[in-house]
Amino acid sequence: MKKWIPILALLICCMIWGTTFVAIKNISTKIDPYLLSTLRSLIAVVILFPIIVFSKRRISLFNKTAAKYGFITGLILGAIYIVQTIGMQFTSSNHSAFISSSAVIMIPLLLVLSKKQTLNLQQIFAIIIIAFGLFFLTNSNDDQPFNIGDTITFFGAFICAMHILLSGRYVRKTDFLGMVFYQFLFAAVVSIIGLFINSQLLDTKIVFDKMVVNSVLYLGLLGTLVCFFVTIWAQKYISTLTTAMIFSLEPIFAAITGFILLNEQLSKLEIIGGIGIIIGLIYFNLIKNKVEF
């Protein structure tokens, strides 16, 4: 396969994911985060299951290794959805997108902590640029210098980094289709368990207005099924480092969408912070690095 095909596919996913921040922001106060995560995952499961069953790849469902890896990545995926939605209740879609993009530089940091990689001076410099960008972005409001939503989102970015890292490793070791299916399945399971733990399964109010329904379908079909399917598939052919570089562009699409649909505008300090994050991310990923994650 030509390398530009998975790269183009990831770029399209990057654009779609950029728009999902606005979709989540629109309904973050209208639907329980655990319920939203459940619905997103179940939509993917319901569509993908018959596709696998009625195809020549139905044996994928009986692959124990794929089920094991799907279980691990599914738990993490469910956590990403839940934490991201909770954070969006207290911060803007722009902030959420820029902070979430910091997951890109958390991947090599995790590798450093696990003693599987070391950072060179150029990479450390890029991380410092991103850190300053995050500082300006999240401390731009003099009246409210500390935003709990930004903190929650930053924690979600860390979880996302774990997901990207593990998905890149696992997809090269097992059946791709089976792993993707079980990932969605267990993401739905962990979300439903979250509803039970919070005693909100029966009490959760579901708003069936047009915006909520359309947003949930958009998040389930494109933001979940298509994007995560393509992302995991693409990592069979290109490195996690290349994947991370492409996803560095995600907050740009989010900022454009937020401005057009929500009229979200960035202050001067937020613009400086956002630009700093983008420059740091791109610089970090353009540094010649022979390590394939």
3-state SS record for 219-269: HHHHHHHHHHHHHHHHCCCCCHHHHHHHHCCHHHHHHHHHHHHHCCCCCHH
Q: Is residue 15 part of a domain?
A: yes
- Whether 123 is in a domain gets the answer yes
Q: 130, exposed or middle or buried, with CB in 10 Å at 0-12, 13-18, 19+? A: buried
Instruction: Please check whether residue 68 lies inside any domain of the structure.
Output: yes
More confident residue, 155 or 118: 155
Say yes or no to pLDDT of 220 above 80.
Answer: yes
Alpha helix ranges (H) inside the chain: 4-27, 33-53, 64-88, 93-100, 103-113, 121-138, 148-170, 176-197, 210-218, 227-234, 240-247, 250-262, 268-286
What count of other Cβ atoms lies within 10 Å of the Cβ of residue 47?
A: 15
In this prediction, residues 22-45 reach a mean pLDDT of 87
Question: Number of C-alpha atoms within 13 angstroms, CB side, residue 6?
Answer: 18
- The mean pLDDT of the chain is 81
Residue 291 in any domain: the answer is no
Please tell me the distance from the alpha carbon of residue 187 to that of residue 169, in angstroms, as a whole number. Answer: 19
Q: What are 167-177's pLDDT values in tens digits?
A: 878 888 888 88
Give the integer Cα–Cα distance in Å for 243 and 265: 28
What one-letter code names the amino acid at 183?
Q
Q: Would 293 be classed as within a structural domain? A: no
Range of the domain at 196: 4-286
CA distances from 186 to 42, 153, 180, 218, 241 (A): 10, 22, 10, 20, 26
The answer to the question of residue 165 being in a domain is yes
Question: pLDDT grade, residue 99 (50/70/90)?
Answer: confident
Q: Locate tokens 């692959």: which residue?
A: 63
Given pLDDT bands bounded at 50, 70 and 90, which one contains residue 292? Answer: very low
Comparing 35-39, 89-93, 136-140, which segment has the lowest mean pLDDT?
136-140
Is residue 292 a part of any domain in this protein?
no
Looking at the 3D structure of the chain, how many domains does it have?
A: 1
Answer whether residue 191 is part of any domain. yes
> What SS3 state is found at 206?
coil
User: Does 184 score more than 90 pLDDT?
Assistant: yes
pLDDT tens string 248-276: 777 778 888 887 877 777 777 778 887 88
Q: Lowest-confidence range among 75-84, 107-116, 145-154?
A: 107-116
